[in-house]
Amino acid sequence: MNTTPAPSVGQHLSVSHPDVPPASPGNLNAAYPDDDLYSAFRQSSIMSKGDEASLIENSTHKGQTVHYQDLDYAEPDHKEPKRVEESPDSWQKLLGTGKYPLEQRIEDKKRGIGRQKYPFVVWALTIAMVGVFINELVVNARAQGSPVSLKPVVNPMLGPSESALINLGARFPPCMKSVTNISSSTLMPCLNDTANPPTSLCTIEDVCGFGGWGNGTPNQWFRFITPIFLHAGIIHIALNMLAQLTVSAQIEREMGSGGFFLTYFAAGIFGNVLGGNFSLVGAPSVGASGAIFGTVAVTWVDLFAHWRYHHQPRKRLAWMSVELVFGIALGYIPYVDNFAHLGGLCMGLLVGTTFYPVISPTRRHKAIMWAFRLAAIPLAVVLFVVLVRNFYTSDPYAACSGCRYLSCIPLSSNDYCQGTGMSEI
């Protein structure tokens, strides 16, 4: 009977170096003819080379050799290690700074895994916008007999008439404040007009709808918000929803719904504020483009903050630049405003920098990101306050007479971008 005592639990025993032949390899092979098991044993010995503490501390016990057969061992655990996370507080969740291993965050970034699986806000917004657009077509069909405006002029976006868009909430300064050369009694085509020149005329207050403005002074401030949900036509909404369900949806997955919601609406509203200041006052504007441009801005934050983690970042930068130029070019289409695009892009950079979960591998990188964040929010607030005040109290054209050309192609119909932009009656 073998009287050699078994090693105690936790006792360390050493295995001889694999280059040194085992005491009795023949016995090992005879006792364990399974080549895989023997190979595994040999490999484990190789892996132990150079360790401070060997797996087995003494290969002999009181002068006797402890054979491989006498060792107690446990089955290896092949399960992947669980991600160790600390439960972040609500502010950390909003900023996306909940802690878990840096290597895991980098790997998730490379694989496109964000903070949540589904873009719930994007889906809800898309459903709402499609529903609003269907209502636009219904309103125009009731007024003109066709869901798409064909008379007196064709809407190039294949959507409602200009009067219908204004009546449903387009950004239109004469409905929001007193505008020089345009009064509440100024006449314009009614929703049901199909003649050119128009035969059915209404006052601006009637066309603005929403019960008018009561005290005789235009005051429909909500037109900074409602245009986000309106679209000029089938082509317009198709392009915007395509971008929203791809680019914006991925940004929501990465940011989380809270930060995305704030970024989306801050960009959309600020785009309309900027457009209200510098676009032609008589040209209505609609669309979620400003808000979507805000999410596009976040992709630029992502690219430069995570340059090393992107596949072919230079190629990605080139494509993003082309897409940006294409988006700005679309801002010259009727009922679409380039200032909404540019304003949304600007505000998206500021708010997106604050709420986008940036991976900072070094203290220097982290310090730079926090410096941007601490500067971004005050700057965003100042821009909102200054431009809203300027919209209601000043003549923006006096401050920047050439700015209108960023969203206006000089034509005789708009007095070469010097008039109000309203069609002559």
Dump pLDDT digits (tens) for 338-359. Answer: 999 999 999 999 999 999 988 8
User: What is the DSSP track for 18-71?
Assistant: TTSPPS-HHHHHHH---HHHHHHHHHHHHHTTT-SS-SBS-SEETTEE--GGG-
Percent share of the chain, pLDDT over 70: 72
DSSP-derived pairing of the beta strands 64-65 and 60-61: antiparallel
Check pLDDT > 80 for residue 79. no
Domains of the chain in sequence order: 1-76 (no CATH), 108-414 (1.20.1540.10)
pLDDT computed for residue 227 by the predictor: 97
CA distance 343 to 274: 6
**Closest among 152, 148, 123, 125 to 137, alpha carbons compared:** 148
Dump pLDDT digits (tens) for 187-197. Answer: 999 999 998 88
AA identity, residue 22:
P
User: What is the DSSP track for 324-364?
Assistant: HHHHHHGGGSTT--HHHHHHHHHHHHHHHHHHS----SSHH
Mean pLDDT confidence for 306-325: 89
CA distance 140 to 339: 27
On whether the pTM is more than 0.85, the answer is no
